[in-house]
Amino acid sequence: MNTIQQVDHYTLEKLLGKGMYGEVHLCKDDRNNEARVAKLILKEHNGIRDKSWAHETLALNAVAGVNGVPRMFATGSTDYHNWIVMDLLSDDLEVIICRNENKKFAKATGYQILWQVVKILKDIHSKGIVHGDIKPNNLMVSHSSNMFQLVLVDFGCARRFKDVNGNRTPPAPYPSNCIKGLHIPPHSALGMPHMEAEDIMQVAYLSCLLRQYAPWKDDDEFKMTRKKMSLALNPEKFLEEHQDLLPVIKLLAAQKHYAEPDYIAILDLLQQMLHSSGGGLANGSLNATVVARAIHLP
């Protein structure tokens, strides 16, 4: 990847992450010295033109001002890259969970995380955007004034599913190389448009992944899709010692493709589950602490 030191008013500093398709850097706004993060995406990789930058910038513009999504400060292109400058956030849930001795989150923590994710989805769906890639490493924690809140990041798979008049206009199905993940719902894996209900089903998978549990996992992608379909129909057969998740997974899986989910029922159920487990208000701060600049969640 060609070395870039500057994009617009931002000086690139520490490399935070690197993959086949690009890099993420800490950067500094030269006008006020504020720390941000710059995402550099190769315009082309192995002869394939990147489309994620266009999807991400369109989505972030559409959901600007929604709580729980990163702010986009600037975007543009160089000869070889497209780039986005966004909020600098803390660790993602995949990193945070590994700091716990048992590599899991407590039930109350998990319920609150799920509530906050569903609330974010309700808000971005109201703007006509589906996310399509809800998993632990795309959920980061923001920390400000002793408040810890979830932020849903990486809108590279996001799609617009409503036109300017609010009418449903299902997006094109995802390409075949995007449908093999643990968190991809059967409708999407089978070539149907990813709509609100598919985002909601990804929350069901997230509820298990927060406990390092994925009973539908299979090296054969077709067998895995069939297991996901069975999980949606009979979750009690998969959950083993995690039967406390049964009510919410049933409700999440019951949401209809092409229809608006019953967000209020889902949020109310998760708040009840949180209260029953000894937690407080789901929309409050996560019960996090900072030790040696690292966020910890029980």
In terms of domains, do 53 and 100 share one?
no
The reported pTM is 0.95
| pLDDT band, very low/low/confident/very high, at 177 (cuts 50, 70, 90) | low
Share of the chain above pLDDT 90, in %: 88
In terms of domains, do 182 and 212 share one?
yes
Q: What pLDDT is attached to residue 45? A: 85
Residue range 100-129: mean pLDDT, rounded: 97
Residues 114, 81: Cα–Cα separation, whole Å: 35
Please name which of 38, 43, 46 lies closest in space to residue 17, comparing C-alpha atoms. 38
Q: What pLDDT is attached to residue 174? A: 87
| pLDDT tens digits, one per residue of 12-55 | 999 999 887 889 999 999 999 999 999 999 999 888 899 999 99
Binding-site residues for ATP? 43
Q: What pLDDT is attached to residue 179? A: 65
Residues 135, 153: Cα–Cα separation, whole Å: 10
Residue 281 lies in a domain: yes
Please name which of 187, 170, 197 lies closest in space to residue 262, comparing C-alpha atoms. 197
Residues 14, 12: Cα–Cα separation, whole Å: 7
Residue range 250-272: mean pLDDT, rounded: 98
Instruction: Look at residue 1 and tell me whether its pLDDT is greater than 70.
Output: no
Please name which of 237, 253, 273, 234 lies closest in space to residue 114, comparing C-alpha atoms. 273
For the chain, what is the domain count?
2
In terms of domains, do 270 and 138 share one?
yes
Burial of 192 from C-beta contacts in 10 A (0-12 / 13-18 / 19+): middle
Element (H, E) at 24: strand 22-29
Q: Tokens 């390092």, residue?
A: 212
In terms of domains, do 126 and 224 share one?
yes
In terms of domains, do 81 and 99 share one?
no
Binding-site residues? 43
Residue range 112-136: mean pLDDT, rounded: 98
